[in-house]
Structure 1
Amino acid sequence: MADPLLSTLRISLLVICMFAAARSDFQTLSVRDDHWIRWSIPASLVLLLEMASSNAGIENICMTFALLAIFSFCFSSPPDLRNFGEWGRREAILSIFYSLGALGLVGGAVSYSETDFVDLLLGDESPNTALWWSMIGASLTATVFYSSWRFGLIPGGADVKALILMTLFFPSWAFVPEQIYPLAEDPIFRMPPSMVMFVWAAAAFLIAPPVIFVQNATRGNITSIPDLKMAWHATKKKISEVSQFSEMEANPSWILTEIIQKNGENTVVNRILPSSKSTIGTERESDLALLEEMGLDSVWITSKHPFLVYLFLAILPMLLLGDPLAYLIR
């Protein structure tokens, strides 16, 4: 059972961290690395405090630094031992993380090498043994997130940093309060909490296109067959409305209705994906005026839906409902 006070603190920190990141990504399409590095400090301190207060053992405490070591790969390469004499504070701190993380791995492998995995799955092993194996799972989860980013399976660097930081906040279900409305009672297997948040976020991300389509249909934005290809991911706006916020530099929107030269004549096209000149800004005013001259009164606009926003929203179902896949394999 997670400590109520520390759980409240951990959840509050995660919500504030993810809200700030989602807001930044939505408004500026980026999140500074400093944001993730700063928030990793309270995340790791709360985890270390809870482990120390519950006598989790030195192996589990050191496993926290293994997670921090994996997290550090997102920002810098490991220190080069050949340049040991030129190391600064950053290299020294990273080397401590690697050393303590390795101690947690080796020490845990020695201490918990005779684990009965049937008892582990049934929850009959000692708390420290179960915690060490869950920290191994958290480390593997963080490694999967990082590798997915490096291999291009997850394109957003900020998304991966958020997922690994979530893993640091909640490395196992031992640190998550019991769900109020669990989808499965006493599940045999559950994915790591950060992976569960990824699944919930992905599910919400997939629901967005049908919702946008229904909104366009109810607003009467679908008036022709070509509109069907746009209605899944964009909305129609009056040109007069677009002109009012065209000077908002931080507006994460793109105009998909453009004018191109075809056979020497101006032709209106609706793009599926934004082009290099699609971003809303003052340079678009002349194009909007030209569209009006050609008889158009509205254009298709798409807004970026940062995955970080969905990750932020996924905190709630993870805490209330738990693992959705546990319901399927119960």
Structure 2
Amino acid sequence: MEELTWARLILAFAVMMAASISDWRTRTAGDGHWYLLGIGGSLLMGVQLWQEGAPWIYMVCLGLITLVFLDLLWDRPGIFEDGINPLPLVLYAATVVGYAYLSLEHFGEGRYWTMVSVPLLILLFFILYQLDVIKGGADAKALIALSLVFPLYPSLPGLPLLSLNDPAALTVLPFPVLVLFNGAILTLLVPLGMLILNLGRRDLRFPLMLFGVRMDLEEARGKQVWPMERVDDGRLRTSLFPRSDDETDWEGLRAAGVLRPWVTPKVPFLIPLTLALPFSLLAGNLLLYLMGA
């Protein structure tokens, strides 16, 4: 099954990289990325189930949960909006029935928990998005798609490099959740990078130097950055975490004599999520390793 693991990793990293580049350049990552990622992952899982000779209900449940995934990407009216929307209602009812039959007939057998983990992960990421824990819609869609790509923890010889005392503990946290966790850790490295960059440039102003850089005003206008300085009631104020909905007043800064304002780059979370894929494969669960698990 090592070939399928490599296929999953290549598919996930290639699509996530393309989506990250799109998000960096245009501030959007089209749903086509997630269609490709989710359907591709589902097909690979189908191949694995077929090779293992899994009962027919496994294939049915895989097909149903893939349709649920596609429905989540589809911009349609709600099930009970303006009456009853029967198509998604039938789909979700059929999915519940399919998984109920799977549980009755094959509870705990073979890939049962693998199949059950997919809808649970989709539900988890959907809830985290609704609670605004996951901020961007593209981030949530990426993680939901990864749930179809990695229903199994990717296992390759010699990996992860940070081995645990109990190797089974590595699979306690589903791989898509580990990617989210490690993506959040990687974002914490941004202040370190900013600090090193600003020390090299001798732009020393704490704590702004941990979260941004100084940039010529005209250059900043054409960059994907937020100003960390703004003119408010005639006074120059600073903000470590400028709000994305604040209107950028470059002319106000110029009038105040600020020709090299401090700015912070607009780094989509999709980028650390993408980097977290190989990081998670290579390093594994950093928290469990530090805890000595």
Q: Which TM bucket (shorter chain)?
A: 0.7 to 0.9
Whether contact under 8 Å (1:138, 1:172) holds in the other structure is no
5+ unaligned residues in a row in structure 2: which ranges? none
Partner-residue secondary structure (3-state), 2:15: helix
1:46 counterpart = 2:40:
no
Partner-residue secondary structure (3-state), 1:188: helix
- Which position in structure 2 is the counterpart of 1:135? 115
Quote the Cα distance in structure 1 between the aligned partners of 2:193 and 2:110: 42
Instruction: Tell me which moved more, 42-51 or 59-68.
Output: 59-68
- Which position in structure 2 is the counterpart of 1:310? 272
Change in 2 beyond 3 A, CA 1:38/1:138:
closer
Quote the Cα distance in structure 1 between the aligned partners of 2:165 and 2:267: 34
Whether contact under 8 Å (2:68, 2:92) holds in the other structure is no
Q: Deviations over 1:123-145 (max 9, x none)?
A: xxxxxx24211322332122111
1:220 counterpart = 2:202:
yes
The AA in structure 2 aligned to 1:64 is L
Which protein shows a greater Rg?
1
2:100 to 74, 85, 106: 106
Partner-residue secondary structure (3-state), 2:9: helix
Change in 2 beyond 3 A, CA 1:245/1:220:
closer
**TM-score, normalization by structure 2:** 0.83
Q: Deviations over 1:286-310 (max 9, x none)?
A: 445434xx3x442101111211101
5+ unaligned residues in a row in structure 1: which ranges? 116-128
- Which position in structure 1 is the counterpart of 2:209? 231
Change in 2 beyond 3 A, CA 1:146/1:108:
same
**TM-score, normalization by structure 1:** 0.75
- Which position in structure 2 is the counterpart of 1:188? 168
Whether contact under 8 Å (1:196, 1:324) holds in the other structure is no
- Which position in structure 2 is the counterpart of 1:122? none
The AA in structure 2 aligned to 1:270 is T
Whether contact under 8 Å (2:115, 2:151) holds in the other structure is yes
1:290 counterpart = 2:250:
no
Quote the Cα distance in structure 2 between the aligned partners of 1:57 and 1:73: 27
Q: Alignment RMSD, CA only?
A: 2.9
Number of equivalent positions: 284
Q: Deviations over 1:255-278 (max 9, x none)?
A: 22333433xxxx333233156332
Equivalent runs, 1:149-298 vs 2, <5 Å: 149-173=129-153, 176-178=155-157, 179=159, 181-184=161-164, 186-189=166-169, 190=171, 191-222=173-204, 227-237=205-215, 239=216, 242-244=217-219, 246=221, 248=222, 251-262=223-234, 267-272=235-240, 273-274=242-243, 276-278=246-248, 284=250, 286-287=251-252, 289-291=254-256, 294=257, 296-298=258-260
Task: Point out 4+ residue stretches in structure 1 off by more than 6 angstroms.
Answer: none
Quote the Cα distance in structure 2 between the aligned partners of 1:321 and 1:130: 28
Partner-residue secondary structure (3-state), 2:248: coil
Whether contact under 8 Å (2:64, 2:91) holds in the other structure is no
Change in 2 beyond 3 A, CA 1:289/1:155:
closer
Quote the Cα distance in structure 2 between the aligned partners of 1:258 and 1:154: 28
Q: Deviations over 1:192-218 (max 9, x none)?
A: 110111111111112222332343234
Change in 2 beyond 3 A, CA 1:66/1:202:
farther
Whether contact under 8 Å (1:58, 1:104) holds in the other structure is no
